[in-house]
Every structure is written in C-alpha cells, then in structure tokens.
Amino acid sequence: MIRIVVVATLALVGNRQGYAQGTFVNLDFESVIPPLNPDFNFSVPITNALPGWIGYINGSPRDRVDYDSLNLSGPSISLVDSLTPLFQPPIQGSYSVYLKSTSDTGGKSAAIGQTGQIPSGAQSLLFLIADNTYLGTSFAGHSIPLIPFGTSGNSIIMAGDISMFAGQTGELRFGGGGLFDDIQFSNQPSPEPGTFCLFGLGAVLLGWRWRRV
C-alpha cells in the first residue's frame, strides 16, 4: 500500500520543469524587473514586481503593489523577498506573494489574476501556500475547488482539478489571504478529497522531490 501511494504521489507532481505552462508567465513570481524603488507608501509598479499579473483590490485593478510591506488599514497585495521585516521568508526562490483581505469569505478583497491558455492535457493545478493561508482560485470566473495534497518543507501543497478547462483561454485568479507561490500545471489528475488520507503517506517523499527538482 505504501509503495502504491508513493508512486501515485510522485505521478501527480511529476517533473515540475517538464510540463508546459501554456501561455501563462511568471507563475513562480521570479521574473521581477529591477529596480524596485518603493515610493513613500512602500509600493512599486506591478509591471515590475509581478510581470504578467494584474492586481485587484475590492475587484478594481491596481497598477501598484506593496513591496515587503502591507496596508494595515485595508486589503493589499505584497511582493515579499527575504529582506521583509513583516512576513516569513519566501516559500521558494527569491520572491512570493502575500495577499491581505478583510475576511475569509472567498478572497474577493485582494487578488491577482492573469489571462492565458491552460496547457492542452492539463489535469490539475498545483501551488504552495504557507500555514494560515486561505485562497479562493478561479478560472474564467469558475471556482476551482482545492484540497491540501501534502507538504513541501514548511509549506502546504494545494491541488485543484482543472481538466475541464484544458486548452481554454481565460483569467486564472487567486484571491484571499496569506503567502503563496510556485503555481504549476500537471498532466496528472487531482486526487479526490476522500483519498487524501492515502496520499498523506507519501507527503514526506513528495516534499523531498519538490525541493530537489
């Protein structure tokens, strides 16, 4: 049973460098365009901080995001690096994104989105979140149900079924609160919630693989 679970776990993740992103870009948030020179509000242009992405506050597009800071009085979008005094370090690489919303009702207060084509044959969407993070994810306005799939270091791997959207073009949007990173598509199906307990047996090996590739 353990051998079966480990094989299935590795099959879902696959080789993270080997599967296409479709036409989406900067899914790991590492394509920052320097210099990042914050203004007096500690914000920077989103075109430099998050190339390819659009920021939304209360549903309205924003052309700037916070850099290693956040709006204490309302929702905000923050680019986080290892020098931040307010957040934990990035989940992977040099940068992660932190969303601050005013409620946990689906993440409509702070969000980022990008329009692109999901790879043909894609079955699942995977990404990493920090503890105490809640995110709502949608494609072309359709909600994508998510389940925690395992762990990778100190982060949680989230998985969602996007098989019905494979090959389609639309906006992929993430909204809510907390730190997240390393979005990717997989050609393996997302596990059903009822089978999550089985995949948990392979979580340690999955985390080792994720960091290694």
- Give residue 7's pLDDT: 36
pTM: 0.81
8 has pLDDT over 60: no
Structural domains in the chain (count): 1
Query: 106 lies in which domain range?
Result: 2-212
In this structure, of 95-99, 108-112, 126-130, the range with the lowest mean pLDDT score is 108-112
- Give residue 108's pLDDT: 54
In this structure, of 7-21, 29-43, 56-70, 95-109, the range with the lowest mean pLDDT score is 7-21
Across 26-49, average pLDDT: 96
- Give residue 19's pLDDT: 58
- Give residue 102's pLDDT: 75
Cβ(148)–Cβ(157) under 8 Å? yes
Across 189-198, average pLDDT: 60
116 has pLDDT over 70: yes
Average pLDDT, the chain: 83
Enter the tokens of residue 50: 């998050």
Instruction: For residue 82, give the 3-state DSSP assignment.
Output: coil
123 has pLDDT over 90: yes
Please name the residue ranges forming H helices in the chain. Answer: 2-13, 46-49, 196-199, 203-212
pLDDT in tens, 38-78: 999 999 999 999 999 999 999 999 999 999 998 888 899 99
Could you give the CA distance from residue 36 to residue 81 in angstroms, rounded to a whole number? 12
- Give residue 84's pLDDT: 84
Terminal-residue alpha carbon distance, the chain = 25
204 has pLDDT over 70: no
Cβ(140)–Cβ(164) under 8 Å? no
Q: Which residues contact 173 (CB under 8 A, 6 or more apart)?
A: 56, 111, 112, 113, 114, 137, 138, 139
pLDDT in tens, 174-185: 999 999 999 999
- CATH assignment of the domain containing 153: 2.60.120
Cβ(178)–Cβ(109) under 8 Å? no
Phi and psi at 9, nearest 5°, equal -60, -50
